[in-house]
Structure 1
Amino acid sequence: MSRSGPSGLRIKSPDLLIAESGADLEGNGLRRSMGLFQLVCFGIGAIVGTGIFVGLSDTVARSGPAVIVSFVLAAVTCVFTAFSFAELGGAIPVSGSSYSYAYATLGERTAFLVGWCLLLEYGISISAVAVGWGQYLNELLASVTGWQLPAALSNPPGAGGIVNIPAVVVMLLAALLLVRGVRESARATAAMAVLKLAVLVLFSVIGFSAFRSGNLAPFAPEGIAGITSGASVAFFSYIGFDAITTAGEEVRNPRRNIPVAIMICIGVVTVLYCLVALAAIGALSSGKVAGQPAALSLIVNRVTHSTLGGGVIAFGAVVAIASVVLAVMYGQTRILMSMSRDGLIPRIFERISPRTSTPVANTWIVAAVFAVPAAVVPLDVVMNLTTIGTLAIMAVVNVSVLVLRRTRPDLPRRFRVPLFPLSPVLGIAFCGYLMYGTGPSTWMQFAGFLIVGALVYALYGRRHSRLGSRTPEPGADATGGADAGPGADGTDSAAGGRVRDRVGAVPE
């Protein structure tokens, strides 16, 4: 079931990934409590937040009124990769998302580096999202009470503050809700997703009521370079749709619901972002929107000549950003759980509470570790590094679709990438194009991050890998194959056999 070669080329078959996760079993480990509606709300909850409520002004600063084109360019990149995520999410419905897909196609070393980069997409992005929460919390407090938190305690260094206390608070609140149970978290995320969509629609209505076509000229003051740079920033607004695939073990009928949810989320979010961007520029002009904190509240205040409307938008932003922290933190814990199962990181990350069926220790560790950059790192630094890491992961996912079609054409697929192989190839090309737009300094930071990841794998992951510790029986196709006996991780490795030591069996 799994091919073995040099340590970095250990391939873990989709069948073994599914068997070890317990994804084909009911009543053990993680609970299947999410339906399609909850999954769509979870996806929207993971996407819509800081990127549009806070990052819009940064995108406008780079591309001007052509911010709409930047959003579309970022969306096209996401659509091609969303096709790949949808096919892989339906074919391999486990919690590991792109980490698991890389393990099944490109080998253990690449999978570890993908998991390492997911710390950027999920962990560091939690920090970025939390940083933006304080801006709108202050706007809400000002509109309701006339009082704001001191800048020193609500902004990070470099942005007029010393430590961002609200960012830490929202992360701890999200962790507290997550450890209570997936069903409770899903309900909260669904309610928050509906609320923030309503707030953005309300903003669009107000913005279009003061629309001036002259604000769209000149349309692209920085030309193609500005549009590309803006698209790289706008891409941050779409990060999170792949978090849907991290719920593979807690979704009912995952082979159908995961692909459908991804497509719905990308479509809804793209239309909404373009409407919000057009309404914002039409109402206030790009020069006045660029670089403004809490830009949406500012625009509504200007249009309505009152702080009440801006307070409503600020309330929606506070809820929206909190829901992103909740959904993305959920995704990060499930990815770490998958890596822990494989022995690539310590086992504490795979422990499940028998009372709540959630990874309690894992969740609190994630909250504690990533609260630090949320408290002390400026938003723009965190956003750029998150963006390039996410684009690299998406490129790997497109490659994984190409490889899995060749190596496992027999694997059940409820959704297939259209225009194969053109679609994943275009996905790779668009990812590379937007990575180029992040700039040389971000590339240097990313290169250093990958080097550290390679060292961690060499010093810990490679030596503790459960797949690597298996010894194949004579005549077996590979480690963990159909002829192998129980593996070092407690796996009864008959094809499709049960896994005794799966995550649900590990005591809290």
Structure 2
Amino acid sequence: MSPPRQLLRTKPVDLINDESAHTALRRGLGLPALISLSVGATLGTGIFVVLGQAAPVAGPAVTVSFAVAALAALFSALSYAELAGAVPVSGSAYSYTYATLGELVAWVCGWCLLLEYGVSVAAVAVGWSGYLDEFLGATVGSRVPEALSGGVVDLPAAAVVLLATAVLLGGVRESGVVTVVTTVLKVAVLAFFVVVAAFGFSTGNLAPFAPAGVAGVTGAASLVFFSFIGFDAASTAGEEARNPQRDLPRAIVVSLAVVTVAYVLVALTAVGAVGVDALSGSDASLATVLRQVTGDGWPAVVLAAGAVVAIASVVLTVLYGQTRVLVAMARDGLVPRVFARIGARRVPAANTLIVGGAVAVLAALVPLGQLAEATSIGTLVAFSLVNIGVVVLRRTRPDLPRGFRTPWVPVVPLLGLGMCVLLVAGLAPATWAAFGVWSAAGLVVYFAYGRSRSRLGQQVQGE
């Protein structure tokens, strides 16, 4: 096989599905747990954390920015739903791309997923640290020293990542129970916020609605798209779902609908209650809203307490997703085999420890805004490849059983691709530069390590 053909070799879908059928992971997740996994990985990241970063960019039209980002996510979610039902494995978009676009593109996708999941965990952990500080200040009258909560390092952010790592080591069933409980709590906390903030709503806070025009709306949408990445978390549970062909597509679509409604309602009531200026730059912006609306501290304390527990569930579920993508990449030989080693509790223990430690360091050292934008660009590239993959797989394997079929192919996947390109264009040049460095590093790793150790490549050479 010539070098160019080696880079474009695809992994047969039947081989991928056979590996999934004989997985060493435990199949313990039903539909409620999968929905909670997706909602838990998504709901909270944008509203609890990124709203204060996005509001100054779009003004009150940040509510439209959430809707635009949701629309972009919807097209990609429909593509994810089809591929999750057709190729139900732990690798998510990485495995889908390997089956449709070839090994090199799959590597790029997997490398982007490592950026997406790893950096988003760190970003959410930084936001969690802000709400913990808010909660401690309101209840015990003492905050975490500034040098230890983002001034020099962010120790609380690192601590919550390590706590999530410990929960994941306990097993997938136990992690699923924690996820369901914390997701229900999160929905209740956001409903509490909407009701209280509505008492301070004033239409005057919505004018001027879009001071930065369309550019501001799309720029903020690029930033808050980070908030929607969790819906694909269910697709990383393909080998731990009891009925993946049926339940994975349902979990993806339902979770995106729940999250979109929650985000728009919370953003609208927050801006309407206090205006954009009060939200700007705060890592605990929703607690700030309740304090200003009520003139009292207890609603903010309730919100901060709920956020401390609820945002921790995002750390848990997204960290789970990253470890499962690495399982698939290691099984294919593209990263070291240690990441695919399954321990006594039928979880990738060494993988989880390595990833948890690395993300804890990242959360301790890198500011929130830079983390959020870096996550968005990795996500958008991965989503773009999934949209292309649906079109390719329809042509190459029209006979493949699918638990869900994306409507109006190729129109919907191409719209998803176009929306991803639009949002990527709105990201800052510094984000593009960082992504370029990350991508170059990934290509070096692939050509220096993964290409020669690829199991698919070795099988082809042996034939």
Using the size of structure 1 for normalisation, the TM-score is 0.89
What is the identity, as a one-letter code, of the residue corresponding to 1:386?
T
* Structure 2 unaligned regions, length at least 5: none
2:254 to 261, 264, 282: 264
- Please give the per-residue CA displacement for 1:190-238, whole angstroms capped at 9, x wherever unaligned: 1000001100011001111111111111100100010011101111111
Is contact 1:50-1:133 (8 Å) kept? no
| Alpha-carbon distance between aligned partners in 2 of 1:48 and 1:412, rounded to the nearest angstrom | 31
| Alpha-carbon distance between aligned partners in 2 of 1:318 and 1:292, rounded to the nearest angstrom | 16
* Structure 1 unaligned regions, length at least 5: 156-160, 474-478, 480-508
What is the identity, as a one-letter code, of the residue corresponding to 2:269?
A
Indicate the residue corresponding to 1:143 in structure 2.
Answer: 138
Is contact 2:91-2:325 (8 Å) kept? yes
Indicate the residue corresponding to 1:403 in structure 2.
Answer: 392
| Alpha-carbon distance between aligned partners in 1 of 2:263 and 2:460, rounded to the nearest angstrom | 52
Indicate the residue corresponding to 2:57 in structure 1.
Answer: 62
What is the identity, as a one-letter code, of the residue corresponding to 1:105?
T
Indicate the residue corresponding to 2:97 in structure 1.
Answer: 102
- Please give the per-residue CA displacement for 1:346-402, whole angstroms capped at 9, x wherever unaligned: 110011112x11010000000111111111111111111110111011000000001
- Please give the per-residue CA displacement for 1:266-292, whole angstroms capped at 9, x wherever unaligned: 101001100000100111011222222
1:190 to 158, 167, 180: 180
Describe the SS at the equivalent of 2:153: coil
- Note the 1:11-410 alignment, pairs <5 A: 11-20=10-19, 23-25=20-22, 29-155=24-150, 161-354=151-344, 356-410=345-399
Indicate the residue corresponding to 1:502 in structure 2.
Answer: none
| Alpha-carbon distance between aligned partners in 1 of 2:6 and 2:165, rounded to the nearest angstrom | 35
What is the identity, as a one-letter code, of the residue corresponding to 1:85?
Y
- Please give the per-residue CA displacement for 1:151-173, whole angstroms capped at 9, x wherever unaligned: 11011xxxxx1110001110110
What is the identity, as a one-letter code, of the residue corresponding to 2:446?
Y
Indicate the residue corresponding to 1:497 in structure 2.
Answer: none
State the identity %.
Answer: 52
Is contact 1:134-1:166 (8 Å) kept? yes
| Alpha-carbon distance between aligned partners in 2 of 1:195 and 1:307, rounded to the nearest angstrom | 20
What is the identity, as a one-letter code, of the residue corresponding to 2:100?
T
| Alpha-carbon distance between aligned partners in 1 of 2:73 and 2:161, rounded to the nearest angstrom | 27
**Alpha carbons of structure 1 residues 243 and 275: separation in structure 2 relative to 1, 3 Å:** same
**Alpha carbons of structure 1 residues 359 and 219: separation in structure 2 relative to 1, 3 Å:** same
| Alpha-carbon distance between aligned partners in 1 of 2:180 and 2:140, rounded to the nearest angstrom | 29
What is the identity, as a one-letter code, of the residue corresponding to 2:138?
S
- Please give the per-residue CA displacement for 1:457-499, whole angstroms capped at 9, x wherever unaligned: 00000011111011467xxxxx6xxxxxxxxxxxxxxxxxxxx
Is contact 2:278-2:289 (8 Å) kept? no
**How far has the Cα of 1:249 moved from its partner?**
0.6
What is the identity, as a one-letter code, of the residue corresponding to 2:5?
P
What is the identity, as a one-letter code, of the residue corresponding to 1:108?
E
What is the identity, as a one-letter code, of the residue corresponding to 1:55?
V
Select the structure of larger CA radius of gyration: 1
1:453 to 442, 445, 453: 442
Q: Count the aligned residue pairs.
A: 463
Is contact 1:79-1:266 (8 Å) kept? yes
Indicate the residue corresponding to 2:7 in structure 1.
Answer: 8
| RMSD (Å), alpha carbons | 1.5
- Please give the per-residue CA displacement for 1:429-450, whole angstroms capped at 9, x wherever unaligned: 0000000000222112111211
Is contact 1:47-1:240 (8 Å) kept? yes
Describe the SS at the equivalent of 1:206: helix
| Alpha-carbon distance between aligned partners in 2 of 1:143 and 1:439, rounded to the nearest angstrom | 36
What is the identity, as a one-letter code, of the residue corresponding to 2:366?
V
Indicate the residue corresponding to 2:416 in structure 1.
Answer: 427
Is contact 1:66-1:227 (8 Å) kept? yes
What is the identity, as a one-letter code, of the residue corresponding to 2:374?
L
- Please give the per-residue CA displacement for 1:290-330, whole angstroms capped at 9, x wherever unaligned: 22231100111111211111011111111121101100110
- Please give the per-residue CA displacement for 1:23-72, whole angstroms capped at 9, x wherever unaligned: 335xx611111110111011111002232112101111100110111000
What is the identity, as a one-letter code, of the residue corresponding to 1:173?
L
- Please give the per-residue CA displacement for 1:406-426, whole angstroms capped at 9, x wherever unaligned: 100010012111111100000
Please state which structure has a larger fraction of its residues in helix: 2
| Alpha-carbon distance between aligned partners in 2 of 1:292 and 1:372, rounded to the nearest angstrom | 22
Using the size of structure 2 for normalisation, the TM-score is 0.98
| Alpha-carbon distance between aligned partners in 1 of 2:339 and 2:78, rounded to the nearest angstrom | 30
Is contact 1:4-1:10 (8 Å) kept? no
**How far has the Cα of 1:5 moved from its partner?**
6.9
| Alpha-carbon distance between aligned partners in 1 of 2:422 and 2:208, rounded to the nearest angstrom | 25
Q: Does 1:414 align with 2:411?
A: no
